[in-house]
Structure 1
């Protein structure tokens, strides 16, 4: 089952959702600003993405700039920051089994189909 971690207010996330709808395959939508990640689930997702936690952070987001920018953070602290401030999480994230990508640009979804 394909899963998209989605934010309705984000145009790129809406594009990713539209892309999946046009595939005519079943998929699940997780509104991650409402259904918050816990630390373990987010850590597992980052491992699937094959990236460092900081690569999932929206570093231009107001919460990052005001609370975290310019300081040294461990991976654990960065993950916890995203758990505490889910707007920091880059989107959309699309998962298919053991594969996951940040769907920017949207066409990257093809990489995990």
Structure 2
């Protein structure tokens, strides 16, 4: 799916679920929570959780969990960008230009 279409879809989805109304300050806290879940998923893949109250997941199951958590991070980034009327195309173009200028590389 094209990122621009997905950004529009996820914004509408969040509006229908009454999740969109949270301001970017609150949304950034949701983003932080989801980033923590990505870190936890990576830890489970790379070094394991080593908890007696949890079963070790199969590698494929762990990858599926990581994919889901990365999606949650992406969704929160897209919603924050949407609230400021910033497209991901604009973010990527601006960031690429910044990196090329910073590191004198094209």
TM-score tier, shorter chain, comes to under 0.3
Rg bigger for which structure? 2
What is the TM-score with the length of structure 1 in the denominator? 0.24
Larger helix fraction of residues: 2
